[in-house]
Structure 1
Amino acid sequence: MTQEGVEIDDGDAPALPTAPDERDAIRTALVEWYEADHRDFPWRRTEDPYEILVSEVMSQQTQLDRVVPAWEAFLDRWPAPADLAAAERGDVVGFWSSHSLGYNNRAKYLHEAATQIVEDYDGEFPRTPDELSELMGVGPYTANAVASFAFNNGEAVVDTNVKRVLHRAFDVPDDDDAFERVASLVMPDGESRVWNNAIMELGGVACGKTPDCDTAGCPWREWCHAYESGDFTAPDVPEQPSFEGSRRQFRGRVISTLKEFDELALDDLGPRIRVDYAPNGEYGREWLTGLVEDLADDDLVTVDEDDDGATVAKLRR
């Protein structure tokens, strides 16, 4: 692939402007666009690493409009790592389930991460992506996001929105290594906080699956390969599975029900989590056993037998 004014890096990297002034113009255009107007999520108004970690964990596969009230309520109840670490894990999991925040093991990991911060770090939050990755349930993406947004100390974030932007703007091939390399090349040194917010905002507002380049005032139209060519194809981005009727939803109902009753035999639990429960039906004992055993694997419930040999599920506290 050859184009005027671009360079190719070892055969599979994307086309990027060669002139330093153009690279600077690309960076300036995006940052100025973001700072002029962006969605006002409350976690963008804080540099508290705990508050940012909570937002990042809540935002995994959960729509942001559902995250905002949950995030605010969570921090009202547990405003600092020490408060969360001191809480009963069952209360934290119950909160997670009642706010439909997805897999409840994320609540368990967040509780354990808070305990690590209190016990292993003397209450001081780790600051680098590598150190943050040592916290329970914190993977490379989340660690880098917290380092970026709390400490301005991260690398270029690469999520599905960023991949879409880079693929379209600079013709990056659908390859994780290429995306990582180009994201790092484009991000200005020492500006991970504003840059990562800005490029994710670009992907969320202007460069979605259906692009809105002109109406959203995309700041990269001047350089964008897709805008010039009219080809807005992008790597496959899987749709978030529907929450209604999903396994995630019924896992949450199990936790909520056991929080109320503490312990139930499966045939007492089943009708309380779905109206069509029938012991020998499609959604019966076998289906429910798999559900509670998954929760037991996540250390959220225990599964035993009572004196009559019936399977009993109990919330682990």
Structure 2
Amino acid sequence: MSSVAWPTDPDHLREALLAWYDDGHREFPWRDDADPWAILVSEVMSQQTQLDRIVEPYREFVDRWPTPGALAAADRSAVVAFWTDHSLGYNNRARYLHEAAAMVVEEFDGSLPADRDSLQTLQGVGPYTATAVAAFAFDRPVAVVDTNVERVLYRLLEGVREHDDPPYDALIEELLAPDRPAAFNNAIMELGGVACTPTPACDDAACPFRSHCHAYRTGDFTAPDVPTQPAFDGSRRQFRGRVLRTLADGPRPVDAVGHAVRVDYDPAGDPGREWLDGLLDDLERDGLIERRESDGERVVALRSSDSPAETRDATAETRDATADGPD
């Protein structure tokens, strides 16, 4: 067990994450291929390389050398030339993969072993790659921790920031879905790849952790690989834009606006009505919105004005909110 407290039951977080992943995620060919050799190839190719850049090289590689035996029988220069031609970086990876294929043929009868210790005996296969192959190819209940996963945990859990050496492995082991390890590992890595990016897209990607996330609540999106605060996400300007975008369809009750712009909004909590009133005060002072009574209820609306300047300002800020990105 780790020493970091979870903001809610890990079972709830796990279920929310898997539901988010099942509802829609990026499609990559290796996610549909449980062949251990193909998984190893994808892991070696994707080291320090964006996933969408290796899709075509991956397909060509496994089509040309579909088994460890096929690659082991190939001339090493051909393998290195393929690597170079496809700009896959670090030609040592191609040489190591060629040597690993020969080891699989000679020591494991042509089939990749399923356990991490045996996988790590292969040339160029370290603890991370061995764990990834065990999880994705053999559905072993092991957690794969990369930079994306560390960023998610650092932002989600306040207590992680108190550690010089955060217990990422232990935390992910606690969160892991033992009955769906491959899906879970893909899901948490996908979350870091599309939602909890260095400049996060919490709302646009519908991050399932928002209502429990320390970074989302505080606006502090720093992380080990993001040492300085992203300029826009979590900023006051971002929330101003969300309010205007929310009101574009018509007036709304005050608390309805709060819930629309922050999933963790609680009228009596933090962020709550006091935080929202401050935001609305700013917008009202700038002539962009107005608050009024309607059927005995306090509502917020975009300000009606014949002033070209005010109309132009409101339109510009709403456009920025729709973009929902940095200046």
TM-score class, shorter-chain normalisation, is: 0.5 to 0.7
Does the alignment pair 1:77 with 2:64? Answer: yes
Where 1:235 maps in the other structure, the secondary structure is coil
In the alignment, what sits opposite 2:80?
A: 93
Instruction: Tell me the equivalent position of 1:49.
Output: 36
Which protein shows a greater Rg? 2
Deviation at 1:124, TM superposition (A): 2.1
Cα distance, 1:177 vs. partner? 5.0
Q: What amino acid does structure 2 have at the position aligned with 1:16?
A: W
| SS, match of residue 195 in structure 1 | helix
**1:262-315, Cα deviation, whole Å (9 max, x unpaired):** xxxxxxxxxxxxxxxxxxxxxxxxxxxxxxxxxxxxxxxxxxxxxxxxxxxxxx
Tell me if structure 1 keeps the 8 A contact 2:198–2:225. no
CA contact (8 A) 1:153 1:190 kept: no
Q: Which whole-Å CA distance do the structure 1 matches of 2:155 and 2:109 have between them?
A: 45
**Residue 16 of structure 1 pairs with residue 6 of structure 2:** yes
Aligned mates of 1:49, 1:231 — CA distance in 2? 39
The 1:200/1:98 distance shift into structure 2, 3 A limit, reads same
- Asked if 1:111 corresponds to 2:111, the answer is no
Q: In the TM superposition, what whole-angstrom CA distance separates every residue of 1:107-162 from its partner, at most 9, and x where no partner exists?
A: 01101111111110011210011111111100100000010000111421111100
How many angstroms apart in 2 are the aligned matches of 1:90 and 1:27?
Answer: 45
Please give the alpha-carbon distance, in whole angstroms, between the structure 1 residues aligned to 2:207 and 2:136. Answer: 23
Task: Please give the alpha-carbon distance, in whole angstroms, between the structure 2 residues aligned to 1:129 and 1:23.
Answer: 26
Aligned partners of 2:70 and 2:21: how far apart in 1? 34
Q: How many Å separate the matches in 2 of 1:184 and 1:167? A: 15
Distance 1:43 1:71 in 2: 8
Structure 1, unaligned runs of 5 or more: 1-7, 239-317
Are 1:145 and 1:154, in contact at CA under 8 Å, matched by a contact in 2?
Answer: no
Distance 1:58 1:97 in 2: 12
Is residue 129–residue 154 contact of structure 1 (8 Å, CA) maintained in 2? no
Residue in 2 aligned with 1:65? Answer: 52
Q: Does the residue aligned with 1:222 lie in a helix, a strand or coil?
A: helix
Q: Give me the CA root mean square deviation.
A: 1.7
CA distance in 1 between counterparts of 2:45 and 2:32 reads: 17
Alignment check: 8 A CA contact 1:93 1:107 kept: yes
Q: Percent identity?
A: 58
TM-score by length of 2: 0.66
| SS of residue paired to 1:236 | coil
Q: Using the alignment, how far apart are the partners of 2:166 and 2:210 within structure 1?
A: 25
Aligned equivalent of 2:174: 185
With over 3 angstroms needed to count, the CA separation of the structure-2 counterparts of 1:176 and 1:198, relative to structure 1, is farther
1:175–1:147 distance in 2 versus 1, CA, 3 Å: farther
Structure 1 stretches of at least 4 aligned residues deviating more than 4 Å after TM superposition: 174-177
Letter of the 1:103 counterpart: Y
Aligned residues: 225
Offset, 1:52:
0.6
Instruction: Name the residue aligned to 1:155.
Output: 142
Equivalent position of 2:115 in the other structure: 128
Could you tell me which amino acid in structure 1 is paired with residue 151 of structure 2? R
* Greater Cα offset, 173-182 or 92-101: 173-182
Q: 1:152 to 1:15 in 2, by over 3 A?
A: same
CA distance in 1: counterparts of 2:196 and 2:124, whole angstroms: 30
